[in-house]
Chain A
Amino acid sequence: MNIVVCVKYVPDAAADQKFEDDNTVDRIGVDGLLSELDEYAVEQALQIKETGDDPDSTVVTVLSMGPEQATVAVRKALQMGADKGVHVVDDALAGSDALATSLVLAEAIKKLGAGPGWDLVVCGMESTDGGMGVIPAMLSERLGVPGVTLGSEITVSSKEGGAVVRIRRNGDASTDTIEGTLPLVLSVTDQSCEVRYPSFKGIMAAKKKPVETWSLGDLGVGPGQVGSGAAWSVVESAIPRPARTAGEIVTDGDGSGAKALVDFLASKKFI
């Protein structure tokens, strides 16, 4: 089986997030890392490989589109246990929207599949840097395969006619069971598993794992199809919300805290 995991390099949420002068997210000036929500995608791909019928012939490829530094994200996934990496990097990609990102990732997946084919694409539930949570659905649309998304529990079983992926999905009104037959795009939530830490052995092994770097030219995508110039929506302004003014803080002692709390709620007419 060939599994492709899509992972994004994102600014560290603990650092100050900000916009560039052209209203795009600053991805260069802050420290970045493998999106924590994509660690769940890597973990699921590894578990599917390890618990599958044929771990030895299953290949997990990590795919990331992003700036030079995005190799950090690819490396981390390799340390966790993925087999090889592909990093799509090109100056023209700066400022790409979800439509362009999904186009590039879809073309990269097709190129990866040109030899042995691909069976399963695994994504995270959304990018932690204000992502839209739409890339997996867009990939499914562009690749013409089912999208089985937002799984909080995942099982893969072999059946006649191909392996079946079954998920539980927590919807607003109900919890659903959803299934599809490979090949398909799967996305997984942070409820789906515990993520492993890279072991010392994994960190050493990752140094020898191959990472290919592809440009837009390698994918047959024109520079005019991506980047801020090709975006199908524009950000007109990005204004920091005024900081909240510090409120009143009281220290509880002998029940004074509860009384002060109730008085505050009454003063605001909540009771």
Chain B
Amino acid sequence: MPEVLVLIERVEVDGVREVTKPSLELLTIARRLGDPSAVVIGSPDADVAGTLKKYGAAKIYSVSTGEGAEDAGVSGYLVAPEAEVLAQLIEKTSPAAVLVVSTGRGKEIAGRLAVKTESGLITDAVDVTAADGTPTTKQSVFAGSFVVQARVTKGTPIITVKPNSVTPEEVDGAGSDVAEEAFAVTISDAAKGAKVTGAEPRKASGRPELTEAAIVVSGGRGTGGDFEPIQAFADSLGAAVGASRAAVDSGWYPHSFQVGQTGKTVSPQLYVANGISGAIQHRAGMQTSKTIVAVNTDEEAPIFELVDFGVVGDLHTVLPAATDAINRGR
């Protein structure tokens, strides 16, 4: 079977670098298309390699530039070096596809790679399947109102996949014959033009990651700036907290929690919108949630067109009462 290159993302959690969940999701998707080859920038430690094997990596490329600290030749710059790494690996392996996580970063890497290798690009896939040996993707477009099926017709299919598109699956008996291969690259000076000169890690919120949470409780302008009832209700459900752009623009909640077109896309089992009117740009980020609930004083609010259950009422009274009931075991 042909190789499928999967660009692995790692994040630092309490000083330890871990593989992100969306990267593991890519390994599961890659297995439908061929043999997953995990591409790790810098050398993976034993834990990372173990995780990658457990989730089905048939091969691991540990990429180094020989420039001092582990992966300084790549990670000290913005995306262009990663695209060069993948271009060199495509040259070497002629893979069936390249899979990258659909984040701002991931999409830029993929876009550059498509130009470099004259290959078709599909971004924001929510599903990838193999049909007649070529990958076929599904995307959710126009604020989730259409599902588009597409296919790459030129070069190596380069596909960015949204987080939460599949559940990562462990592979039985995996790991014994996984090859780890060092891959040395040279990064051009041209790729080093955009330099990362500082990074402030995000503070942990103590709540589930917004894009990965099973339940998301969001607040909008209707909170009037008080997110306390939103957070307390979220905590009673073990949920992540989200916000509308109106709430973010007013400085009531940080931008990294914004749900919508210019924020995060979430697709949880349950989405609870409180004091949010349901503008098209907000819907774009939550419309594919399985169950939608809203609390809003205005019975005409467009959000009510989407809901499975809605309460016409004031969030400042409804939410604390509901939180109480849940915390008391109803």
Contacts from A to B (Cβ < 8 Å): 13-14, 17, 19, 23, 37, 97-99, 102, 125, 128, 130, 132-138, 140-142, 144-150, 152, 166, 170-181, 184, 189-191, 231-241, 244, 246-252, 255, 257-262, 264-266, 268, 270-271
Asked whether B107 lies within 8 Å of A132 as measured between CB atoms, the reply is: yes
B207 part of interface (Cβ distance < 8 Å)? no
* B103 smallest CB distance to A (angstroms): 6
Known: A149-B104, A181-B193, A236-B136. A141 touches B312 (CB 8 A): no
How many angstroms between the C-alpha atoms of A136 and B12 in the bound complex?
A: 28
Known: A132-B124, A141-B111, A177-B197. A252 touches B145 (CB 8 A): no
Asked whether B198 lies within 8 Å of A137 as measured between CB atoms, the reply is: no
How many angstroms between the C-alpha atoms of A146 and B193 in the bound complex?
A: 5
How many angstroms between the C-alpha atoms of A251 and B298 in the bound complex?
A: 10
Asked whether B310 lies within 8 Å of A248 as measured between CB atoms, the reply is: yes
Residues of B193-239 contacting chain A, CB below 8 A = 193-202, 215, 236-237
B181 part of interface (Cβ distance < 8 Å)? no
* B60 smallest CB distance to A (angstroms): 22
Task: Out of A136, A146, A232, name the residue touching B114 (CB < 8 Å).
Answer: A232
Asked whether B325 lies within 8 Å of A132 as measured between CB atoms, the reply is: no
Q: Which residues of chain A have C-beta atoms less than 8 A from B236's C-beta?
A: 271
* B252 smallest CB distance to A (angstroms): 14
B150 part of interface (Cβ distance < 8 Å)? yes
Known: A149-B104, A184-B193, A257-B318. A235 touches B148 (CB 8 A): yes
- Report B110-142 CB contacts with A as 1/0, cut-off 8 Å: 111011101111111000000000001000111
Q: Which residues of chain B have C-beta atoms less than 8 A from A238's C-beta?
A: 141, 146-149
Asked whether B313 lies within 8 Å of A257 as measured between CB atoms, the reply is: yes
Q: Which residues of chain A have C-beta atoms less than 8 A from B147's C-beta?
A: 238-239, 241
Asked whether A247 lies within 8 Å of B309 as measured between CB atoms, the reply is: yes
- Report B43-87 CB contacts with A as 1/0, cut-off 8 Å: 000000000000000000000000000000000001110010000
* B85 smallest CB distance to A (angstroms): 14
Task: Out of B103, B110, B322, name the residue touching A262 (CB < 8 Å).
Answer: B322
Task: Out of B148, B190, B313, name the residue touching A144 (CB < 8 Å).
Answer: B190
Asked whether A125 lies within 8 Å of B262 as measured between CB atoms, the reply is: yes
- Cβ-closest 9 pairs across A and B: A252-B313, A146-B193, A134-B111, A232-B120, A258-B321, A177-B198, A137-B108, A247-B308, A232-B154
Asked whether A13 lies within 8 Å of B280 as measured between CB atoms, the reply is: yes
How many angstroms between the C-alpha atoms of A19 and B150 in the bound complex?
A: 14
* B92 smallest CB distance to A (angstroms): 21
Known: A133-B123, A232-B120. A270 touches B107 (CB 8 A): no
Asked whether A271 lies within 8 Å of B330 as measured between CB atoms, the reply is: yes
Known: A102-B115, A134-B107. 9 other contacts (CB 8 A): A134-B121, A142-B115, A144-B190, A170-B256, A177-B198, A236-B151, A241-B146, A257-B317, A258-B321
How many angstroms between the C-alpha atoms of A111 and B120 in the bound complex?
A: 26
B299 part of interface (Cβ distance < 8 Å)? yes
In the assembled complex, 21 residue pairs joining A and B whose CB atoms fall closer than 8 Å, in A order, are A98-B114, A132-B111, A147-B108, A147-B193, A149-B79, A150-B104, A170-B255, A171-B105, A184-B194, A232-B119, A233-B120, A241-B145, A249-B309, A252-B312, A252-B313, A257-B295, A257-B313, A260-B309, A260-B311, A265-B270, A271-B236
Q: Which residues of chain B have C-beta atoms less than 8 A from A237's C-beta?
A: 148-149
Q: Which residues of chain B have C-beta atoms less than 8 A from A232's C-beta?
A: 114, 118-121, 152-155
Task: Out of B111, B140, B146, name the residue touching A137 (CB < 8 Å).
Answer: B111
